[in-house]
Amino acid sequence: MIDESVVAVSGQREFMVVAHTGRAVVTRTVESIARHCAAAGVGLRIIDHDLTADNPATQDDVDLRGRDDREGHDDPANRDHGPTRPPSHPLDIDGLRELGADVTVATGDPESAVGCEVVIVLGGDGTFLRAAELAYPAGVPVLGINLGHIGFLAEAEANRIDDVMAQLISRDYRVEPRMTLDISISHPTKPDEVRRSWALNEVAILNRTNNGVLELVTEVDGRPVSAFGADGVLVSTPTGSTAYAFSAGGPVMWPDLEAILIVPSNAHALFARPMVTSPRSRIAVEIDKHGRSAIALCDGRREIFVPAGGRVEVVRSDRSVLWVRIDSDPFADRLVTKFDLPVTGWRGRQGEGK
């Protein structure tokens, strides 16, 4: 929720900034945003996490696979600590106000983006997914500015921040929906206890340990498709096809497609190929009741325990993540740039204009 002591003037345009404060360039970029907002009379809303060294964005790249094997554990104290926390460069709220920006502070709860015109993300894909958690329930569009490595979810690079801010302030942008997934997880002995979440990229149903394989059955529209042992299986949107699903061997899907992608991860089976289903399909993954338990990891951020015998159901959500589009490159160009694909020798269509 918004800190009532610093609420912006009612009716004022306001942009939210969610930043990866583990990178020093963020400070300069936020200062540039603050100057543009101050000059245009646009309010600036930031998250309290970004004002401290204990920023969740600095853990975006932590491997979440390391787990002990105690059934049902989801206490953070039981988790492996992972790699050393990278350095942090928290935002300086007083410095931003000295630049003339009307800055308010919000806590990172589901209502923190309510009333904002747009959420600006400074960082890589992990930071974008953190910002999407705030924008999604509020129905606020998200704009990614890449300060990471690949930054496939970003719409622009940091060196274009002045042009991007000019377009935002003049409302020279468009908004398009990106499909998301609704996830429900049921317990074999507690049918009334259904846990729910959502995903923009994917839900990964994974073995909770590094020992053995996870025995599971995939189902599409109420019919079994394949049973196999694997490290896990991913159910992805087209947006997520260039993320975890891509690393697991899935196909690249253009983001304006409407489909659901199923990708086994390191499967021990003759038929365990990626499948592209209808966006209207109901996908289910059942965990062998005599085997290991699992976790359902939504966008690499929200973890839900799945017991042996549990069932994960995935359908297209009625709600989309709203995506800010500016004059960005075609998706094919983004693929070539982000993955450094070889295109030497391309000539294009011949004879046009003759």
Pairwise CA distance, residues 132 & 129, whole Å? 5
Show the DSSP H helices in the chain as ranges.
Answer: 25-40, 93-98, 125-138, 161-169, 244-247, 331-339
Neighbours of 252 (CB within 10 A): 14
Pairing of strands 321-325, 174-178: antiparallel
Q: What angle do CA 250, 256, 257 make, to 5 degrees?
A: 55
Indicate the DSSP class of residue 58.
Answer: G
Report yes or no: 78 and 70 within 8 Å, Cβ to Cβ. yes
For this structure, is 92 an active site residue? no
Query: DSSP string of 246-309?
Result: HHTTPPP--TT---EEEEEES-BSSS---EEE-TT--EEEEE-TTS--EEEEETTTEEEEE-TT
Q: Are strands 302-306 and 202-207 parallel, antiparallel or unpaired?
A: unpaired
Distance CA 34, CA 61 (A): 28
Residue of 125, 172, 231, 327 marked active site: 125
Give 211's contacts (C-beta < 8 A, 6+ positions apart): 69
- Which residues are known to be catalytic? 125
